[in-house]
Chains A and B, each alone.
Chain A
Amino acid sequence: NAGVTQTPKFRILKIGQSMTLQCAQDMNHNYMYWYRQDPGMGLKLIYYSVGAGITDKGEVPNGYNVSRSTTEYFPLRLELAAPSQTSVYFCASTLISPTGELFFGEGSRLTVL
């Protein structure tokens, strides 16, 4: 079972560049999330979606954008990358909210230089 798949696993960006982190899940989960994790820290919610066509901001949305055109895909767009966006990004999904188990991808490590 693939579960939650994130690409790329690693990326180095220059300041001001843009990129999209891809996230796909094959479990038919309605709820999907993007978190960032700074070294040794917990996770901070960037954006989330409760279903196709519906997205909302989390704690730290500035500098990011998302879209959810289908149930399966939830890409995260970084516009004008800044060093403060250097982090590990995790995509997650769940069938039941709020008590359902979050299934995480393996993470995308982004460095902005």
Chain B
Amino acid sequence: TQLLEQSPQFLSIQEGENLTVYCNSSSVFSSLQWYRQEPGEGPVLLVTVVTGGEVKKLKRLTFQFGDARKDSSLHITAAQPGDTGLYLCAGETGTASKLTFGTGTRLQVTL
């Protein structure tokens, strides 16, 4: 079983601060996704990265896939209360049609 470790587990910051969430594994992933989940709802896809070294930007969110495709990061600039939620990375090894989810990072952004 591939293990995806996310850090930090919890993050509480004030509006306007920057933050980075990490997703690390010893396995190589053919693709990696980031999801955000709000309380009482299912996760919603933010981005998919497939190429080592790839960087994708989604407004104030920047996603990076490591060169070796074993790790990824999510950077949020000038966090807002609407960014509050559980952030999940999910990797696919290409050997089967299934995603392995990370342990999750719970972000709280306060005014």
Contacts and interface: CB of A to CB of B under 8 A. Distances in A.
Interface stretch (A44-52, A67-75, A76-84): A44-52
Given A104-B43, A106-B40, A31 B97 contact: yes
Given A97-B97, A98-B30, A101-B45, A59 B104 contact: no
Interface in A60-113: 90, 92, 97-99, 101-102, 104-107
Interface string A21-42: 0000000000101010000111
A7 to B, nearest CB: 14
B43 to A, nearest CB: 6
Nearest to A90: B42
Contact of A50 (B90, B97, B106): B97
Interface of B: 1, 4, 6, 30-31, 33, 35, 40-45, 48, 50, 86, 88, 90, 92, 94, 96-104, 106
Given A50-B97, A97-B97, A107-B42, A42 B30 contact: no
B98 A45 contact: yes
